[in-house]
Every structure is written in structure tokens, then in C-alpha cells.
Structure 1
Amino acid sequence: MIVFNYETDFELVNEEKYTQWISKTITAENCEEGDINYIFCDDKYLHKLNVEFLNHDTLTDIISFDYTMGKLISGDVFISVERVKENAKDLKQAFDDELSRVIIHGILHYCGYKDKSNNEAKIMRAKEDFYLKILE
């Protein structure tokens, strides 16, 4: 079950469209949908989590806590709406496009994709691009 939560003044437009898209992505990756919580927040909220749980004293756009067991995808995905807006501006992307990329990025991690090396990051970006086309 996919649930969207809001800890800031933001609300995802057309939650059902995103829910179906995320579910299709999970199925296409030969995984099963478990409990997935998206929490949209601001920089301050996410920075606190980053320091407390990851010992990183930096701003970030997404932190995901992965509770996946085998092929059953579950987790909490925290997204800083402020950071996504800033990144979209810096990358000259539409906010909705950058937000969608971040949303699916967390799911792809749960499906087993990594992005630490250049090669892994390239594969992750290709997967993101593929699933973003499906959303359109």
C-alpha cells in the first residue's frame, strides 16, 4: 500500500496517478508492493533526519529507509520539497519532472539498484528515464 504524508505546505497533485505509476514500476521490476510511505517535508525536517540517522550534516533531497524483505518492497521515503525545487531550478528542469524522478529513485533503490559508482549511477539514471516516460 502506498501512502502519501505531508509535513510541509505541499500536496501532491493526483496521488492516484502516482500510486498507479509506482505500483506498475514495482511490478515491472518483478517485485511485490508492500507498505510504502512517502513523507514530503522541508529542508529543516530532512536535515534533522540526515544528521540523526545517517550522521550527514548536509542538505539532501531524499532519504529512504528500506524495509524490503526479499521481493516485498517496503520503506519510508522522505522528500524535501524545498530541495527538489532548488535542484529543479539548478538543473533547469520543471519541478514536477524533478519530483517524479526523486519519487521513483527511492523505489528503484528498494528494487535493488545502487548509485554509488559511475556505472551504477548510469544504470539508475536510465531506469529513472524509462519509468518517467511511462508516467507521461
Structure 2
Amino acid sequence: MPNKASNLVSVAIQWAVHADHPPFSEVDNSRIRRWAKACFLDRSEITIRLVGEEEGRQLNRDFRGKDYATNVLTFPMDMPDLGADSGLPVFMADIVICPTVVEREAAEQHKDPIDHLAHLIVHGCLHAQGYVHESDNQAELMENREIEILKRFKISNPYVLSSKK
């Protein structure tokens, strides 16, 4: 069920890598948009870019100083607070997902890869809104919000270890 602000949320999707094999060939742009839109209560403009490991590694190295491809990177744009009546987005961000890393992590963690992808999109969207996980309290707040959003899509708690093998 979409939230009230979902029509105020614009989600552009860029496939810089082809996911033409299972599991991600089953995921269409409308599904990705639903996951992202569920995260926002305010007017927002988000771009989700799905990249190969080379681009993911380059971005992680350039912006975080870490020389490996990671699952998700979020680049929030600092927006001036011009008030709700301005008509401008409250949140703008680019979110980069590396499906190869997502698929590998899902296998290692015995998770459904599509559920893991949904979780990382939600995770990135929450980062775009200022959620962080630097302290235990911050992590708990962010994780609880992720669990709540994923539950709407019948996706189980990603922080519970799966016994699937």
C-alpha cells in the first residue's frame, strides 16, 4: 500500500549494468520505485543507479576511500529548508546499488536476493533522509524503520539470521 506522499516522490532508475539473469531479471522498475517511495513522507527526488562492480568500486574508492565494490552508496544533496509550500523536494539523492555484490551477500547470508535488494534500496533511501548507524541508538532507529517499511512488502526482518541453506 503506497504512503500518502508517494505521489510526491520521484524515482529515476538507471541500469548501468544489465541484470538479464535471475534473480534480478525478475525485478522491474515499478517494483524498485514502490520500495523507494515507501520510505519517504516528504516531497523527494531520488535516482537509483544499478552498477557493475568496476563502477561501484571506483565510486566507493573516490568517495569513501575504500577500494572495493560495496552493496549500496547514498549521495544525499544538501537541500535548503525553504518550507513545505516551496514546491521543491525536501530530499534529493543519488543511490548506487551493485547487484553483483547484493547477490553475493544474499548467498553468503542465506537471504532471498530480491528481498536483500529491497532492503538495500530502503537502507539507501533512509540514508538520503539523514538516517545513520554510527551509534547503537542510531542503528536501532534506522533498523526499526527498515523493518517497518519492508514488512509492508511482506519481506521479513533482514537483521534476523536465516536458517535457509
Q: TM-score range by the shorter chain?
A: 0.7 to 0.9
TM-score with structure 1 setting the length:
0.86
Deviations 1:55-100 (A, max 9, x none): 2223311111101524711111010101101111111100011000
TM-score with structure 2 setting the length:
0.72
Tell me if structure 2 keeps the 8 A contact 1:68–1:110. Answer: no
| Compared CA separation, residues 85 and 55, structure 1 to 2 (3 A) | same
Helix, strand or coil at the partner of 1:45: helix
**Cα distance in 2 for residues equivalent to 1:48 and 1:21:** 26
In structure 2, the partner of 1:8 is 17
**Which range is displaced more, 68-77 or 89-98?**
68-77
In structure 1, the gaps of 5 or more residues are none
In structure 2, the gaps of 5 or more residues are 1-9, 20-24, 82-88, 155-165
**Cα distance in 1 for residues equivalent to 2:43 and 2:72:** 22
Q: Does 1:75 align with 2:93?
A: yes
**Cα distance in 1 for residues equivalent to 2:69 and 2:115:** 20
Question: Could you say which structure has the higher helix fraction?
Answer: 1
In structure 1, the partner of 2:60 is 50
**Cα distance in 1 for residues equivalent to 2:15 and 2:26:** 9
Across the two proteins, how many residue pairs are aligned to each other? 132
- Aligned-residue offset at 1:15: 2.1
Larger radius of gyration: 2
**Cα distance in 1 for residues equivalent to 2:70 and 2:140:** 20
Amino acid at match of 1:32: R
Q: Structure 2 residue aligned with 1:32, among 40, 43, 59?
A: 43
Deviations 1:1-53 (A, max 9, x none): 201111111257232233234223202xxx222x2110001221100111122
Q: Please report the RMSD computed on the Cα atoms of aligned residues, expressed in angstroms.
A: 1.8
**Cα distance in 2 for residues equivalent to 1:6 and 1:14:** 11
**Cα distance in 2 for residues equivalent to 1:12 and 1:25:** 22
Question: Could you say which structure has the higher strand fraction?
Answer: 1
Helix, strand or coil at the partner of 2:34: helix
Deviations 1:114-136 (A, max 9, x none): 11122222221111111001123
**Cα distance in 2 for residues equivalent to 1:38 and 1:25:** 14
| Compared CA separation, residues 93 and 44, structure 1 to 2 (3 A) | same
**Cα distance in 1 for residues equivalent to 2:66 and 2:103:** 21
